[in-house]
Structures are given as C-alpha cells and as structure tokens.
Amino acid sequence: MLLNKMIEAKNEIIQLKFYNSRTKQLDLFVHNPNTPINMYTCGPTVYDRVHLGNLKTFLWSDFVVQYLNTIGYKTNHIMNITDIDDKIISRLPEQTYESLIQYTSYYTEKFLDDISKLGIKNYTKKNIHKVTDNTDSMEQMVLNLIEKDFAYETSDGSVYFDSTKIIDNPFYVQNDIEGYESGRDIIRSNDIRNPRDFVLWKVKTDRTVVWGKKLTKGTFGWDTECCVLCDKLLGKVNIKMGGSDLKSKHHCNEISQAESLHPNRIYGDYWIHFGFLNFGGDKMSKSIGNVLRLDDIKYNYYLVRMYLLTKSYKNDVDYVDDEILLLKKDFINFHMLYNKLFNKFYRTHKNDKFNYSGDIIVYNNILEIISDNFNTFDALKELVKYVDKFMKVYLTEEYANKILDELNKVNNLFNILDENLLEINKETTDFINQREELRKLKQFEKTDLMREELKKTFIFEDENTGFSLIKKF
C-alpha cells in the first residue's frame, strides 16, 4: 500500500512523453503504475551474427524497459527469436529439424553473448521466446484467421491475409504495392486475390523441414509469430518496439492480424520505432556489406554503449569513430571519480570551509531530462558536467558517500560503468598506501617515481584534492 502510494507520488513528478508511431505525435505515457506494462520487442532472426545496427535497436528497447522500471513501473517484457526462416533453412548443413535447432541455438547463444557484452540486462533466456517452441499456436492462429474469413487458402494450400479486410491500420500506406512482397515471401502463389495480401502460411513441396498438422505441409509467414507470442504471453500489449524498417510491412501486418481477431483490443497503444545506424553513409545492412559486428569494434564496449546512448533513439544516426574518441575522456572521468569515491582516494581539507558543501543532486535531474522523449543526450551531458564538478574538490566522507550514491543510481539506469576497469589488486593497493605514506613525509622524489610506475598500467591522476586510477584500456 505504502509502496503504491510512493510510486504514484513518483509518477506525479516524472511525466514521460515520447514519440508514439501509432499516433504520429509526442504522447504522454499514461499507465496505471499498479499493473505491469506489457511490452514486446521484435527480436532477431538467428541465421548469422547480429551487427551494431541491430544491436542499437536492442540496446534502446532495453533502455526503455530499464527507464520505466527506474521511474517506478513494473514491466513485463518479452521478445521473439525467429528460428524458422527461409534464410536459416537454406543455410542448414543438413535438411533436418535437429540441424535447424543446432544451427539456430548456436546463433541464439552468440546473440545473447553480444547483448550481454553491450550491457543489455533485461533480455535473458526467461523473456525471449523461440518460434520453434510455438508452432502449434501459430498454426492455430492461421486457422482462426481463415475461419473468421480474414484469410484464405490458395490452390496450393498456402494461406494469405485478405488485405481488403484491413481497416484503420496506423501503418498502412495506400498504394504501397512496390516491395510489399517482402524478401521473406518471394515465392507468391498465382491465385492471390490482391497484391497487398500477405502470406501467413507457405506451402513447401521441395522441403523436408516443414510444419503443419491441419494445414498442407509448409512453413510460417514471419508476420504471425509476434502476434501469437503477444496474444499467448501478454494478452493486451501496451508498448510495442522494433526497428523502424519493420514499420510499414511487418508491423502493419501484425496489427492487421491481431486486431482482426481481437477488434476491441488495440495491439500496442504505444509503438516505439528505433532509427537505423548508418555507417559510411548508408544504413548498416548485410545486403550492402557495410556491417560492423561487435567483434570488429576496437573500443571498450561500455564506451560504445555510452556512445549509442548519446544518439537519438528514433532518428537514423551515423556511427563515427571520431565521435567515440571525443567521448572517451568523459567516460574515463566517470570511472575515475567513481573509483576515487569508492576507494576513498579523495582528501578532506583540515579547514572545513574548503570542503564541498553544496548541491549533490544529479539523479533526479537526469530522470527528468530523459522523460522528455528519451533525451539521453542532454541527460549524459548533465552527468558529464556533474562528474567534472567533483573531480577536483575537497570532500568530507559524508559528501563523498552522497555523491557515490548518486553515481550508483545513475549507473543503474545507464549501465556504463565497466567494473573491469575499476579493479585494483592487493599489490597495487599496498603500493598506493606506501606512496601515500611517503607523500605525507614529503618525499616527493620517491612519490614521483612511484606515480610513473603506476602510470605504466593505470590511468592515474594526482591532485591536491586526492588521486584516482583505473586500468588502462
């Protein structure tokens, strides 16, 4: 009871607004804080490693979940793993179901590996769902759509959604026939009724890896899987997320299916579409060949994470190496201040009037800034200003702890602190303590030499107000 009151009070302060693709405007997010927000992100097709452009989408959808949790909401967030797909099946070493599972499990693990390296923490095996575990439900949804006359079978037994039944779909673009037949659906039946009809079930006579208990043996259209998982695991969907390239076809088709079967249930009150990551002037894409995978990046992954969080979630943005380098100093300073406070490397002035005693708040300001359309760019600028302010001041223990507390809260949201860089082993700690003793004895020649020694392994800074060090990277 008390907790609910606190959450309500908190939400009175944090009023989140963001661009809702469904209404095509900046909307205030309205949700009862006592019930979880049902959220869904369209996941990867596991036929290959994901690239940084894909990862930007997953990083951002994870951040949205984290932010909502931070401001007091409960979330129920799931994602699909597309492990049935023509691209996958054409790459299998053997045309068997076992081979499919082996192949896709490998790339699913790689995906989980990549997202964890990038500090994405709200995706675990618990909330990702494979299509292969849901094939009966998918077939059933196709059958339901036929039964309710929203879909029809062609002469070969494939099933299409009847696009004349589409009403009031926010992502439907009139006369957009070109390219409507997505790459995943290149073999179309001859007797489809309308060029905008999209495939729900593809009959495959030349394959051994096929599904279908009641339908003619074949495989699934891509657009059905997310609808099925949402219906089965969430019921009502509050926030739907995915890459902006999915909007006009995949998401349009999802809404058509879901809202046909449940006309009184809006499929996603809020839709968040994440912009592309361009590299070398083009959208990062396997077909163009300008992809960067996480392994190709020579920078610290938490620095890359911080960099991607300075970018707009919604617009197409460029990946530029030099921009990452510009951010490196701020990234280092954040770690330096953290270690200084955590390890008590700061100094307190004998005369209390020289010790800092002003405002230490940053966390609430950051939450407030982000509430304006996920403005992480300005929020991170606020953090950088804050870190700079406390790098060179005398601190009492009380203030140092308060500031550290703020940094921990901020990091719980951004997750940009690389703990590996903070580690200081026993040997180094002893060395530092020894140096501090010599400094008190004013043996500066010796302490200078020791500083140079430390600088071989660490980024090390020494001020009157204290010192700090982190591992070189």
User: Which residue ranges make up the site for Zn ion (CB under 5 A)?
Assistant: 42, 226
Cβ at position 268, least distance to Zn ion in Å: 11
C-alpha 161/C-alpha 368 separation (Å) is: 44
Cβ at position 343, least distance to Zn ion in Å: 46
195 vs 3, 165, 190, CA distance in Å?
54, 13, 11
Looking at the Cβ atoms of 52 and 241, the one nearer to Zn ion is 241
Looking at the Cβ atoms of 226 and 284, the one nearer to Zn ion is 226
Sign of the CA dihedral with 28 first, then 34, 35, and 39 last = positive
Looking at the Cβ atoms of 243 and 466, the one nearer to Zn ion is 243
Looking at the Cβ atoms of 153 and 254, the one nearer to Zn ion is 254
Looking at the Cβ atoms of 227 and 395, the one nearer to Zn ion is 227
Looking at the Cβ atoms of 226 and 404, the one nearer to Zn ion is 226
Cβ at position 341, least distance to Zn ion in Å: 43
CB 435 within 8 A of CB 447: yes
Looking at the Cβ atoms of 78 and 337, the one nearer to Zn ion is 78
Looking at the Cβ atoms of 42 and 416, the one nearer to Zn ion is 42
Cβ at position 82, least distance to Zn ion in Å: 8
Cβ at position 240, least distance to Zn ion in Å: 8
Looking at the Cβ atoms of 226 and 317, the one nearer to Zn ion is 226
227 vs 79, 211, 235, 268, CA distance in Å?
11, 18, 10, 11
Burial of 167 (0-12, 13-18, 19+ CB in 10 A): exposed
The neighbouring-strand residues paired with 126 are none
Sign of the CA dihedral with 167 first, then 170, 176, and 181 last = negative
Cβ at position 391, least distance to Zn ion in Å: 45
C-alpha 202/C-alpha 222 separation (Å) is: 10
From the list 266, 25, 261, the residue with the least C-alpha distance to 169 is 266
User: Given its phi and psi angles, is residue 72 left (phi above 0), alpha (psi -120 to 50 degrees) or beta?
Assistant: left
DSSP H or E run through 243: strand 239-243
Cβ at position 464, least distance to Zn ion in Å: 57
C-alpha 373/C-alpha 28 separation (Å) is: 9
Q: Is 38 helix (H, G, I), strand (E, B) or coil?
A: strand
The DSSP letter of residue 234 is I
Cβ at position 196, least distance to Zn ion in Å: 19
Cβ at position 222, least distance to Zn ion in Å: 8
36 vs 18, 32, 74, 237, 371, CA distance in Å?
19, 8, 5, 11, 19
